[in-house]
Structure formats: structure tokens, C-alpha cells
Amino acid sequence: MSFGGQTPTIIVLKEGTDASQGKGQIISNIQACLAVQDTIRSTLGPYGGDLLLVDENGKQTITNDGATVMKLLDIVHPAAKILTDIARSQDAEVGDGTTSVVVLAGEVLKELKDHVEQGVSAQTIIKGLRRAGAMAVNKIEEIAVTTDGGKQRETLRRLAATAMSSKLIHRNADFFTKMVVDAVLSLDQDDLSEKLIGIKKITGGALQDSLFVNGVAFKKTFSYAGFEQQPKIFKDPKIVCLNVELELKSEKDNAEVRVDQVSEYQAIVDAEWQIIYNKMEALHATGAKVVLSKLPIGDLATQYFADRDIFCAGRVASEDLERVVQACGGSISSTCSNIQDNHLGTCERFEERQIGGERFNFFEGCPQAKTCTLVLRGGAEQFIAEVERSLHDAIMIVKRAIRNRNIVAGGGACEMEISAHLHRYADLDPSIPRKQQSIIKSFAKALEIIPRQLCDNAGFDATNILTQLRVEHRKGNVWAGVDFDNEGVRDNMAAFVWEPSLVKVNAIRAAVEAGCLVVSVDETISECQFSLCVP
């Protein structure tokens, strides 16, 4: 057979390779994404439930944090993994709204499924979707309110409270919002690295026993004999931070030393002892009362420091030592010789004290504290772990709000306003092609999943409340949202249900990208191994 004089190229797939393509493939991918959405949608909002996830090793995790759920779900379907990626990107970029972005992306795909089944071109769908997404982002930027810089702390507490409203700790929101805002404001405002907020978890006690330390606290490290003789409280101590091992150890690398007389062997032993004594004497000469090191501090050094009323701790975690330097000043030295005063840190008070069943070292009243520590208490490990995840979301929200002061109302108000705007735009703008009009309207309808799901999870009549919301937004009430206190509709901006506009913008952009990506894939080859045969 001739093909215009050219020899045809035949792609022969490896035996057993699964190849699917066409409209059926797109619908299959959408169905897989909807299965993921169904798993997570019940956790949305202040009345959302939690998921109990058990891994193959029997480890239990109780959470309603979208990023954590998506990470722990063992999703095999390649298209459904896209939802995991957008949840992770939302968590990295904003820190909150991870459940919302997965629910929204799933609903967008559900609405697009009808267009795919009707034979609308994938490129037409993608163009309409991108146009709708751009219009939605523009509308958010248009309606967003810039907060008053003079009431920054109060605004940040409101935003943190909204982020906590769907978490286990929402009953203690007043207690934790103050802790979160204090933690973020204690950081260097130019950097705002959340890694400098240390979070330590101690089982036992109540949530209100949690502590905010304007400095550094870490668990007592492994200690040798003589440690209990050391003082545990200092006022205005000098602190030296080391990356030096203060321990007698046998020679490394299989070193071999040949000696002819016992006196020569004794000279080697004496030299080894003299080396460590010189190090300890040099540290004592600095006047430091607290010696910290990343590497071990052995029993000889521990007893030496105890005899001279010096506290020491070896094997301090690298991140804890970095935070001590950030808070107390000084620097980490890799040698014990030639340590100057500017290499030493200080704080108003150092103390080792008991918290629950653990002993902790506290560095408080630090002169340049650009770091802090949150000590969390609670009855069960899983509960404290979820508290930590909840605080992470609130910390990220406060951090973003400091840099971006634009806010919108939550509780579905923002989504309903954008939905109403897109419906009006699609009907009235003659420049939009007819096929794209239906795509934009489908996207507008998909946005209503947020207030609808909030109502469903709270046990409200979703149909009735959504009807009221549509009427209010048609009247021009921009911030009309779900009223969780009275099962109705209210002005959520006046009710202080606030969210940074960045959360909504990022969620819409991620959902649009996920929708475009899934719709554009019309063929899957499960094993990317093939050979070319030219007859």
C-alpha cells in the first residue's frame, strides 16, 4: 500500500501497555478527580468533619487540613494526582484554603464534563475557562478592601480566627489567635520566615496550658554524669554556641601508632587529655555560663563545667541552635580558641524547668529576639499534631496578610459575588463567542459549590440559603455570605469573617490550571516504553 510515496511509521507499544484516548479518556480523568473531591469535601468549613487516616504501618492521623489529607491519600490515578499538586501549591503559597481549592477544582471539572460529552472542543473549553478565571481574579482585586494599618494587630487576629474557624481549636480561638499574631510579629518583618517559629509538642495538660515563649525553648538534650550538679537558672548569662565535639574518643580512620616504651604511650594519652582540657579552659576563659553544641559534650566536659558553675548541652538540634543565635546574638563557632565577645550571645534569663513529663531549656528576654517558640499541650499526640497543623495555617495567613493587606469576606460571600458578576458578564458582553459564554456560566455555577458545601456540612438548607444569597448579590450586597450562627444570610465583612484576597486569587488560579490540564489530556499511555518499526 502506498502513502503518497512515503513509508509509514508504525508505533508498536510494549506488550501489556494500556493506551486510552479520546473523549472517553477525558471523562474518565474527570471522574477520578471527582472521586477525590468526594473524599475531602465533607471537611470544608467551620462545621466540616475530620478524617481519620491510617497508613500501612498503622499510624493514625486525624485532620481536616486539605494539604495533609491529599498528601496521605495514596492516589494512584495520574490525573487525580493533579489535585494533590494544587493542594500542595496552595499550602506553599498561602498556607490555607487547601480544601477549598480541591473542592473548587473538582466542581469546575464536574461542570465541564457536560461540555465534553456534548463534543465541545477541548481548546474552546480551555479558552473559556482561562477567560473566566482572569475575570474572576480581576473582580476579586476590584472588590477587595485594604485594611487599616493602624489597627494591624486586631486585623491579623480576625484573619487568624477565620483560618481557625474550621479547625479543632476553634473553641479556643481567642487564646490561639493572640499566640499566632505575637509569634509572627516577633519575626524579622523583612524576612518573616516561619521556620524561625519553633513548635514543641508535649502530651498532657489542657490546650490553655500551651505557652508562647518570646525566645527559644527546646527539650533537654541527652546528658552525661555530672549534669545534675550544673546550675539550671542564670540571669544575663553569656552564651556560646559551638559546632565542636567535647569528648574523649578513640582515633578515627583506624589510625595506628607504634611505640617502644610505656612512657611514649602515656605521652600520647596525656596529649589527648591536654587537647580537650585546652578547649574547655578556653571556653571557661570567655566568661560564658551556657555552652551549647551541635555535637556531643561528654562526661569529662560535663563534670568540668559543673565544677565551674557552667551549664552545657550537647547534641542540640541544628534548627534550635540557629534559633538561639537569632534570638540571643553571637554566632556558631567551629573552634574553641580565639572566641571574642561578639561571638557570644546573651539573654535576660536562662532556666531549665519541667513541663509535663519533659524538661525544657528556656532562653527568655532575648535582646534581638527574631524568633519565638510555641509549646503546645494536649491530651493525645494526634490531637496536638492537628493543633500544630491548624496553627501553621493561621501563621501562614497572618504572614501573608502583613505583606498583602487586601482582604475579602469569607463564608461564600466572595465566591457568590464573582459568580453573579460572571453570569452578568456572559449575558451582556457581545464580544464573547457563544460557546465560551456557556463555559463562563459553568465556571460561575461551579463557584457556588463553596457556600453550598458550607451549608451541607453545617446541616443547613443549602438550596434555600443559596437562593437568598443570589437575591442579595443581585441587589448589590457584595459581602452577603452564609450566617453560621443563625442559619441564614448576613454581611460577613461586618461580621468579621475575613480572609486575605490572596487565598481566593490563588485558589481560583490553581483550579483553572487544574481544569485546563485535565481537559487537555485526551490520551494516556500507562507505560512510556515503545519502539519504532519502519517496514
**pLDDT for res 534:** 45
CA torsion through residues 501, 425, 127, 120, sign:
positive
**Which neighbouring-strand residues pair with 358?**
355
Give the CA distances from residue 1 to residues 5, 6, 9, in Å, rounded to whole numbers and listed in that order: 10, 10, 13
* pLDDT the model gives residue 222: 84
The dihedral formed by the CA atoms of 354, 385, 98 and 514, expressed in degrees to the nearest 10: 130
pLDDT tens for 246-291 read 887 644 445 677 777 777 777 777 777 888 888 889 888 888 999 9
pLDDT (0 to 100) of residue 251: 46
Distance (Å, rounded) from C-alpha 188 to C-alpha 193?
A: 8
| CA gap 317, 488 in Å, rounded | 51
In angstroms, the CA 403 to CA 229 distance is 48
C-alpha cell at 327: 534570638
**Residues in the chain with pLDDT < 50?**
1-3, 13, 16-19, 250-253, 529-535
135 SS3 class: helix
Amino acid at 330: G
- Give 3-state DSSP helix, strand, coil % of the chain, rounded to 5: 50, 20, 30
CA 26 – CA 520 distance, rounded (Å): 8
Q: Are 333 and 342 in contact (CB under 8 A)?
A: no
What gap in Å lies between CA 222 and CA 278, rounded to an integer? 24
CA distance 46 to 483: 11
CATH topology of domain 10-146+408-525: GROEL; domain 1 (1.10.560)
User: What pLDDT does 535 receive?
Assistant: 45
Which CB contacts under 8 angstroms, 24+ apart, belong to 466-474?
469/412, 469/416, 470/416, 470/420, 473/416, 473/417, 473/419, 473/420, 474/420
User: How do beta strands 290-293 and 311-313 pair?
Assistant: parallel
pLDDT of residue 531: 45
Q: Do the beta carbons of residue 163 and residue 139 sit within 8 Å?
A: no
CATH number for the domain running over 215-251+262-368: 3.50.7.10
Give domain limits for the chain.
Answer: 10-146+408-525, 215-251+262-368
d(CA 406, CA 21): 44
CA distances from 486 to 48, 473, 475 (A): 17, 19, 21
**How far is CA 33 from each of CA 77, 81, 144, 294, 371, rounded to the nearest angstrom?**
9, 8, 31, 46, 41
Alpha carbon 109 to chain centroid, angstroms: 26
| Cβ-based neighbours of 191, under 8 Å, separated by 6 or more | 370
pTM (global) more than 0.95? no
- At residue 481, the 3 state secondary structure works out as strand
Q: Which residues pair with 211 in a beta bridge?
A: 375
pLDDT of residue 165: 84
Crossing angle for the helix pair 152-164 and 173-185, nearest 10 degrees? Answer: 130
Residues 6+ apart with CB under 8 A from 285: none
Q: What is the DSSP string of 214-249?
A: SEEEEEPPP--TTGGGS--EEES-EEEEE---BS--
pLDDT digits (tens, 9 = 90+) for 426-464: 887 777 778 888 999 999 999 999 999 999 999 999 999
Chain center to CA of 151: 26
